[in-house]
Structure 1
């Protein structure tokens, strides 16, 4: 898929997710199995960053509902570099807190939505963070494969994107 089509799709998703706090809360509740009240406070983290070499990076959505943060990245098709991008976006969206000599990074909960899938589309995206030869952490992200969901689940999760949905 060409970059222009991909950019239009990403901007459309981001636009829909900014139409209504209620819509965002419904989508988050459906994707993450949470139960945030529909009148919960919602805040958005700026997701457009300028990186090394002045290249622009844009994650799809980082939102905080109450005290919980979420990152949603959408994919139109398979992408072998999605794992590193997700980790980078999650790190940029992490909350930093320091207590005495310990710095804690609290990452947002993450989901990747695949609008189109293939037999190579993973169910789980994994990155191993290797700190020393013995110390590592496996960062895992669940995948929501839209085409694999039955019509009822799709409707319940996504109908809330339309601001006129009751």
Structure 2
């Protein structure tokens, strides 16, 4: 990804690092595989030595014995295929193995995710060997803007959702000035959140991160269109706040249960003639408390 597109780059990498399970349906969509969402996915090294020096790939990960290399591209680049073959060669040569007395290098399964445009289908290059044989190098392409909201949910391509707003980028000034167009856009994002509620609400960490990344891309795309930025921010930000509130309530509930258990242990120890020192030791070990915290609970619940 180009260096000036740090917002897209950061979102792409954050999802791969924090929510790697979301890339699995994308991988299935591109390569026609059928991996389950919980398939073990190993993050592999993204720094590789090339002719021009060290290059950092957007993502390189492994599933079983197969390596997968993804690049995220926000704009058209006629030389993208050259970069891809360079990255793949660097990855392959670092993982070369000797089998039956012969060195073998295996290229990873690679793909490019295009955030803008819908025309690209694949990237191709021909490698001509000294004996005249031609090796055809081909990389499949996934164009985010080809997928409707319904297709994204139907195929579980939630990884694409933060970038979904980019299809409205060309009309952003028009949307910002038209209440009708803005209302239609906000209704669509209300619908997106309703869908996410149904499938992710019990996965608070993933849900919350995904919403934050949706807002991050939206804020970037509409940084000068205040009406749109605020409208989407209110919808998505409100849901993030709701999730944080739920998390705080759950934490309070757990804390209340913990305090109740400590109180019961203190009262039981006193009732059956236990010592304060043995009680303190038990509280420290069971609840991972400091000595001062344990003593504070004893002072509060031990009736003199």
User: TM range, normalised to the smaller chain?
Assistant: 0.7 to 0.9
Distance 2:49 2:89 in 1: 15
1:43 aligned partner: 42
Instruction: Say whether the 8 Å CA contact 1:97–1:104 is kept in structure 2.
Output: yes
Q: Which moved more, 1:8-17 or 1:156-165?
A: 156-165
| 1:43 to 1:151, Cα distance in 2 relative to 1, 3 A | same
Are 2:28 and 1:29 aligned? yes
Distance 1:133 1:113 in 2: 34
Hey, which of these two has a bigger chunk of helix by percent? 2
Higher relative contact order structure (alpha carbons within 8 Å, sequence separation ≥ 6): 1
Distance 2:83 2:49 in 1: 14
Once the two structures are TM-superposed, the CA of residue 147 in structure 1 deviates from its matched residue by 1.1
Instruction: Say whether the 8 Å CA contact 2:68–2:108 is kept in structure 1.
Output: yes
Instruction: Say whether the 8 Å CA contact 1:36–1:65 is kept in structure 2.
Output: no
Instruction: Say whether the 8 Å CA contact 2:48–2:87 is kept in structure 1.
Output: no
Once the two structures are TM-superposed, the CA of residue 66 in structure 1 deviates from its matched residue by 1.8
| 1:62 to 1:37, Cα distance in 2 relative to 1, 3 A | same
Distance 1:48 1:154 in 2: 31
Instruction: Say whether the 8 Å CA contact 1:64–1:70 is kept in structure 2.
Output: yes
Count of aligned residue pairs for this structure pair: 160
CA RMSD of aligned residues (A): 2.5
Distance 2:99 2:159 in 1: 39
| 1:51 to 1:106, Cα distance in 2 relative to 1, 3 A | closer
Distance 1:23 1:63 in 2: 13
Distance 2:102 2:148 in 1: 45
Rg (Cα) greater in structure:
2
1:70 aligned partner: 68
> If the length of structure 1 is used for normalisation, what is the TM-score?
0.81
| 1:49 to 1:32, Cα distance in 2 relative to 1, 3 A | same
Distance 1:141 1:56 in 2: 22
Distance 1:37 1:105 in 2: 28
Once the two structures are TM-superposed, the CA of residue 50 in structure 1 deviates from its matched residue by 5.4
Are 2:135 and 1:137 aligned? yes
Once the two structures are TM-superposed, the CA of residue 21 in structure 1 deviates from its matched residue by 3.5
> If the length of structure 2 is used for normalisation, what is the TM-score?
0.47
2:104 aligned partner: 104
What stretches of structure 1 of length at least 5 have no aligned partner?
none
Hey, which of these two has a bigger chunk of strand by percent? 1
**1:59 corresponds to which of 31, 50, 57:** 57
Q: Secondary structure at the match of 1:18?
A: helix
Instruction: Say whether the 8 Å CA contact 1:31–1:157 is kept in structure 2.
Output: no
What stretches of structure 2 of length at least 5 have no aligned partner?
161-199, 201-205, 211-304
Moved segments of 4+, more than 6 Å: none
